[in-house]
Chains A and B, each alone.
Chain A
Amino acid sequence: QVQLVESGGGVVQPGGSLRLSCAASGFTFSIYGMHWVRQAPGKGLEWVAFIQYDGSNKYYADSVKGRFTISRDNSKNTLYLQMNSLRAEDTAVYYCAKDGLRYSFVLNWFDPWGQGTLVTVSS
């Protein structure tokens, strides 16, 4: 079955960096766009970033633009999120999610989602 497993979360000081990974299985990873979505404690969902199936186009929320970089390795069926210059407001559970349509360059829908990994930015 389709499965997404995030890893790499943890506690980091303000200004620090962290790289999240999302291991995909059960589907042809290389033909689907992928997203990162986050949820601050007790808050709602926030779309963070999208990468097209072949990595050719990337989109970011204004709140992370210039600090976060989304990437993928289709040979390893793995999605990444490099997070630099972290702030307290980046504290959240980070989910990776597969886009609903093959070869898409827009946000169609998220299905499925991983279980999430918690990032805590604190001194």
Chain B
Amino acid sequence: QSALTQPASVSGSPGQSITISCTGTSSDVGSYNLVSWYQQYPGKAPKLMIYEGSKRPSGVSNRFSGSKSGNTASLTISGLQAEDEADYYCCSYAGSSTFGVFGGGTKLTVL
């Protein structure tokens, strides 16, 4: 069982928006502004999409955005495109004892 909780799957049609939630606790997501999101295609290494909760690395489409409220972080993808179909993982710093925790991952299907 993963430390952070994500929905196993989400889906949307091209052009629509979807949001993936990532629920932790006051010991991880709720305590630090260190939530990051990763996109992973089958057989490939993950790619950073969002860091520090809402910042987007250079080269990542502005259709991807992140936010946080309390113990829950969220990734929103607007204007869905076929190429967005992938697995998405959230990750948070969890203090020096646990250090790092991932969500179980969410499979995004573009209908």
Contacts and interface: CB of A to CB of B under 8 A. Distances in A.
Interface of A: 35, 44-47, 50, 59-62, 95, 100, 106-116
A47 B102 CA distance: 7
Contact of A45 (B92, B96, B102): B102
B57 A111 contact: yes
A57 B44 CA distance: 30
A44 B102 contact: yes
Contacts, number: 73
B85 interface: no
B27 to A, nearest CB: 13
A109 B45 contact: no
A-B complex: 3 closest residue pairs judged by Cβ atoms: A47-B100, A109-B36, A109-B51
Given A50-B99, A112-B47, 10 more contacts: A47-B91, A100-B48, A106-B96, A107-B34, A107-B91, A107-B99, A108-B51, A109-B34, A111-B51, A113-B47
Interface of B: 2, 32, 34, 36, 38, 40, 45-48, 51-52, 57, 89, 91-94, 96, 98-105
B103 A44 contact: yes
Contacts of B104: 44
Most chain A CB within 10 A, of B45, B47, B101, is at B45
A110 B48 contact: yes
A109 B51 CA distance: 6
